[in-house]
Amino acid sequence: MSDTYVECLVGRKPSIILTICQWILTIVAGLAILYGLVASPIIFIVGVAFGVGAFFVKRHANLEFEYLYLDKEITIDKIMDKSKRKRVAKYDVDGIEIIAPVNSHELDSYNNRQSKVKDYSTGIVDVPDSRYAMFYKGEEKVIFNPSGELLNAIKTVAPRKVFLY
């Protein structure tokens, strides 16, 4: 049995709200620390707490997703701030019902289902749209941005489940 290995890394579009929140927390932390050095140690501690909050907001604002295909298995990892990796999903190719572009007519009969939607895409709607939808075991709808190489690797194993147009 030959093992096929393909990986694809996509960056998530930063949320405007998280970016603004990060800047506000950073400015408030800096001002509180400076004022706390002069006036009160309690204000200094509050400034440090705002700084820690800004650190965690920055970590969640800078997201990337890595799709990995290895021997009939797709794993999706979330990479936060290019330093911490967390596995968020694992899918077996046998459980996949269909993979098609988000706006494809092949998905018309699947879109009426009540299923959980998990978005592991870039968050950008391009023209033409590069996002794909995957329905898994009738329970989940996964939206992601696979590369052509990743789609071709899945298509070699399950040709009737993958639609490239």
pLDDT of residue 54: 93
Please check whether residue 122 is in contact with residue 12, taking contact to mean a CB–CB distance below 8 angstroms: yes
Q: What's the pLDDT tens digit per position in 74-87?
A: 999 999 888 889 99
- Over residues 48-64, the pLDDT tens digits come to 999 999 998 988 888 89
81 dihedral zone (left: phi>0; alpha: psi -120 to 50; beta): left
In whole angstroms, what is the distance from residue 75 CA to residue 93 CA?
Answer: 11
Strands 116-120 and 96-101: unpaired
Q: Residue 2: what pLDDT? A: 59
Residue 92's DSSP bridge partners are 73
Write the CB contacts of 156 (distance below 8 Å, at least 6 apart in sequence): 4
- Spatial distance between the Cα atoms of 78 and 66, rounded to a whole number of angstroms: 7
What is the reported pTM?
A: 0.80
Starting at the edge strand that comes first in sequence, how are the strands of the sheet with 84-92 ordered? 5-11, 63-70, 73-80, 84-92
Segment 126-140, tens digit of pLDDT:
778 889 999 998 889
Rounded to an integer, what distance in angstroms lies between the CA atom of residue 155 and that of residue 165? 13
Walk along the chain (165 residues) and give the pLDDT tens digit of each residue. Answer: 457 899 999 998 888 898 899 999 999 999 999 999 888 889 999 999 999 999 989 888 888 999 999 988 999 999 988 888 999 999 999 999 999 999 889 888 888 888 899 999 988 887 788 899 999 988 899 999 999 899 999 999 999 999 987
Average pLDDT, the chain: 90
What is residue 78's predicted lDDT score, i.e. its pLDDT? 94
> Helices 16-38 and 41-61 meet at what angle, rounded to 10?
160
